[in-house]
Amino acid sequence: MRKIFVLLLAAVFSFSARAASIINDTETERVITELIAPLAKAANIPDGRLRVHIVGDNQFNAFVMGGEDVYVYTGLLTQIKSPDALQAVVAHELGHTLGGHMTQMTDRMSAEMTRTMLIQALGVGLMAVGGDPSLGAGVLAGSSGVAQQSMLAFTRDEERIADDMGLKLLIRAKLNPDGFVQVLEQMEHMTGALESRINPNRINHPLTMERLNNVRAHIETLDSDYTPDNAPSDAQRREFELVRAKLIGYLDSAANVATAYPNSDTSDAALYARAIARMQVGNLADARVGTLTLISRNPDNPYFYELLGDLEYQLGHYDDSVDAYEKSLTLTDNAPQIETALALVLTERNKPGDRDRAIELCKRALLAAPGPLTFWVLARAYDDGRADWARAEYYNMMGKKDMAHEYARRAIKSLKPGTPEYIKSSDLLN
């Protein structure tokens, strides 16, 4: 029995000095998507078109590309003070889009992202080891990265415009404009000492204190009866805290997690962070106890069952892992990462019918969010030439064209001409 350890590598493909990962996690993406949905509506973006991407990097940063793709850094998510402040950040970035500031950069950035983006996952802890899937190991080789974005250096005037348009967008969406004040106050606390030594005429952004004063002045002009009817609900605030705890548990050291969430803190967020951190260092028994406590308190939370599925798998309890993942899927929909995780466990357990179920899950996941991890699990589930096709797709998404062509040629030799997998293998070769 082989365990899948939770490991988030910063990068495999690097650009310039640093690189960042794109992290796929159903819970995080859904919480943020729900929080920014009012902004999308206010910006006249059609339902379902504003997509959230989580960038695994400690920078306090976010950006919008193409008007419909929001990239939020884990450094922002783990450090920002409230969901209102997060909404303000996204509103500012949408302000750049509405102001037309991104137009000249979109094509270049899109090409850069497409060329280097490979998917990594939280949840099942799909391991990034740079291994060769053809070896048939029980670990999932699936990490890679997104080249760090060469962000457009907006002029000071464009930043002021983005602040103004972002604030107006928040108000149009009936959100809390004080979120803008919160995030700018936090930024001023982080950079104020440095900015005090900078010549404001030699930087592309206005000083944070100037931006803060401008925003406060704008808010003072609001009608006294303005009500932020769409401000995050108490439930959304709890969900946001769980997401922050989850990311901190996965991405920070055990010592830092213990400081941020001491044992005296018995909140769900603290239990979540500590359970994940303990799993990270191999303390699976205590992590399992914490997760079961969360489930007892929140029997309808699909993501706690997802975590339990991961833990049971690592403990070698395949039947319990399958049950936990299946329960998770009954409580949520359109969860390709969880479907992939369950499919992986089924290929490991390999009882009668498990491989057919794994294939079904992988196909469903690929329809929602094609990713290399899912193709690799699908290759494990097949026992014929379709496995070679799935491996070819995996290597193609990993950017390893030679290996992709090798497996595509193998697939063509064994598959019946005209079948979907035969055609797709031919496409890869061409």
What pLDDT is stored for residue 279 in this prediction?
A: 95
Q: How far apart are the first and last CA of the chain?
A: 39
Task: Report pLDDT digits (tens) over 46-100.
Answer: 888 888 999 998 988 888 887 788 899 999 999 998 999 999 999 998 987 775 5
% the chain with pLDDT above 90: 60
What pLDDT is stored for residue 196 in this prediction?
A: 53
What pLDDT is stored for residue 142 in this prediction?
A: 31
Strand partners of residue 23: 54, 120
Give a three-class secondary structure readout of 366-402: HHHCCCHHHHHHHHHHCCCHHHHHHHHHHHHHCCCHH
Task: Report pLDDT digits (tens) over 242-266.
Answer: 999 999 999 999 999 999 999 999 9
Q: What is the greatest pairwise CA distance in the chain? A: 73
Residue 17 pLDDT > 70 = no
Place of tokens 């500012």: 92
Mean pLDDT is lowest, of 110-114, 222-226, 240-244, 346-350, for 110-114
The whole-number average pLDDT for the span 260-278 is 97
Quickly list DSSP for 139-160: S------EEPP------HHHHH
The whole-number average pLDDT for the span 121-142 is 36
The confidence band for 192, taking pLDDT boundaries of 50, 70 and 90, is: low
What pLDDT is stored for residue 205 in this prediction?
A: 60
Q: Which one-letter DSSP state was computed for residue 135?
A: G
What CA–CA distance (Å, rounded) separates 322 from 333? 17
What pLDDT is stored for residue 185 in this prediction?
A: 87
pTM: 0.82
What pLDDT is stored for residue 156 in this prediction?
A: 63
Selected residue with higher pLDDT from 305 and 131: 305
Instruction: For residue 38, give Cα distances in angstroms to 50, 62, 93, 271, 386.
Output: 11, 18, 15, 30, 43
Residue 177 and residue 170 in contact, taking contact as beta carbons nearer than 8 Å: yes
Strand partners of residue 363: none
CA angle 103, 105, 108 (to 5 degrees): 130
Residue 429 and residue 408 in contact, taking contact as beta carbons nearer than 8 Å: yes
What CA–CA distance (Å, rounded) separates 359 from 336? 13
What CA–CA distance (Å, rounded) separates 63 from 150? 11
What pLDDT is stored for residue 177 in this prediction?
A: 93
What CA–CA distance (Å, rounded) separates 269 from 297? 12
Task: Report pLDDT digits (tens) over 219-242.
Answer: 999 998 999 999 999 999 999 999
Which of 269, 255, 254 is CA-nearest to residue 304? 269
The whole-number average pLDDT for the span 23-48 is 92
What pLDDT is stored for residue 359 in this prediction?
A: 98
